[in-house]
């Protein structure tokens, strides 16, 4: 199992992903954003950070990086791609996932542990989870307020593309448990096929108990199990 971690200028969770993957017993190497091929990897990770300083808009410039054509091709072949935080924003800007990110309604950068409820276990990233399960992962973002027009929102709900929602300890996706104003408390969405996932919470920052929680490990282990099962969508 080998993760390929795309490194944009300004990525800052790339090493965290590599460390978490290695701690879980998997291989993980970096892919510089100027690369035009992504051969030899089983899963691509677009990590968190501030790609290109988030100039203009979060991830607006990163999505034109040379590597993104290869990432799109990898995804189109049914293999798993996950964007975390800024990586999620890159997938949105690239049109690989529906919606966009607005500033948090509080106008504050949020950095805290957050409960999320699993909505879908059909993606390669959530195989080892069950719908309704509540896990805790760190969030750290200023622009995580998920937005999509009402038609798009209805469509992703209908197709089961909402993978995670912000929730309280009993799993309720209430307004009080919504940290940033996201429509429908949405914390993570996938494409229609399910092999491309974007999520604001950081599984790589919760891969070992010593970090305060190991729920993030379930996401890495899920995709590894899926890949080892010969998985490919489509």
Partner 1 sequence: MRYVADIVVKLKKSILDPQGEAVRSALGSMGYTGVQDVRIGKRIEVRLEAANEAQCRQAVDEMCSRLLANTVMETYDFSVREEPGE
Task: Decide if 159 is catalytic.
Answer: no
93 near partner 1, judged by CB under 8 A: yes
168 near partner 1, judged by CB under 8 A: no
Residue owning tokens 């950081």: 202
**What is the rounded end-to-end Cα distance, in angstroms, of the chain?**
20
β pairing state of 162-166 and 27-32: unpaired
Q: Is the Cβ–Cβ distance between 71 and 31 less than 8 Å? A: no
Our CB check for partner 1 shows the closer of 125 and 166 to be 166
83 near partner 1, judged by CB under 8 A: no
Cβ-count burial 125-141 (b if 16+ within 10 Å, e if not)? bbbbbeeebebbbbbbb
181 near partner 1, judged by CB under 8 A: yes
80 near partner 1, judged by CB under 8 A: no
Number of residues this chain uses to bind partner 1 (CB under 8 A): 20
The residue within the footprint of partner 1, chosen from 91, 148, 189, 214 (CB under 8 A), is 148
Cα 174 off chain centre by: 22
The residue within the footprint of partner 1, chosen from 105, 170, 174, 228 (CB under 8 A), is 105
Our CB check for partner 1 shows the closer of 93 and 119 to be 93
E strand or H helix at 215: none
Alpha helices (H) along the chain: 14-23, 67-76, 86-93, 150-158, 216-228
53 near partner 1, judged by CB under 8 A: no
- What's the token pair of residue 33? 């954003």
d(CA 116, CA 92): 20
86 near partner 1, judged by CB under 8 A: no
Q: Give the range of 70-78, 93-101, 121-129, 192-200 binding partner 1 by CB under 8 A.
A: 93-101
Our CB check for partner 1 shows the closer of 181 and 213 to be 181
Q: Which residues contribute to the site for partner 1 (CB under 8 A)?
A: 56-57, 60-61, 64, 92-93, 99-100, 102-107, 145, 147-149, 181
């Amino acid at each position: 199992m080998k993760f390929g971690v795309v490194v944009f200028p300004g990525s800052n969770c790339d090493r965290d992903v590599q460390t978490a993957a290695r701690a879980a017993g998997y291989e993980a190497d970096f892919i510089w954003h100027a690369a035009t091929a992504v051969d030899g990897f089983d899963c691509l990770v677009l990590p968190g950070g501030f790609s290109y300083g988030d100039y203009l808009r979060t991830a607006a410039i990163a999505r034109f990086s040379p590597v993104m054509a290869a990432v799109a091709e990898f995804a189109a072949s049914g293999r798993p791609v996950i964007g975390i935080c800024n990586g999620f924003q890159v997938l949105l800007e690239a049109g690989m996932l529906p919606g966009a990110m607005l500033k948090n309604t509080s106008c504050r950068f949020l950095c805290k542990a957050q409960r999320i409820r699993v909505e879908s276990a059909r993606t390669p990233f959530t195989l080892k989870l069950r719908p309704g399960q509540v896990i805790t992962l760190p969030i750290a973002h200023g622009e995580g307020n998920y937005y999509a027009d009402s038609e798009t929102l209805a469509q992703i709900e209908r197709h089961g593309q909402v993978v995670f929602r912000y929730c309280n300890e009993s799993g309720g996706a209430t307004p009080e448990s919504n940290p940033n104003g996201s429509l429908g408390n949405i914390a993570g969405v996938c494409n229609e096929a399910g092999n491309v996932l974007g999520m604001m919470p950081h599984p790589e920052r919760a891969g070992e108990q010593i970090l305060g929680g190991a729920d993030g490990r379930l996401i890495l282990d899920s995709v590894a199990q899926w890949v080892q099962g010969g998985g490919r969508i489509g």
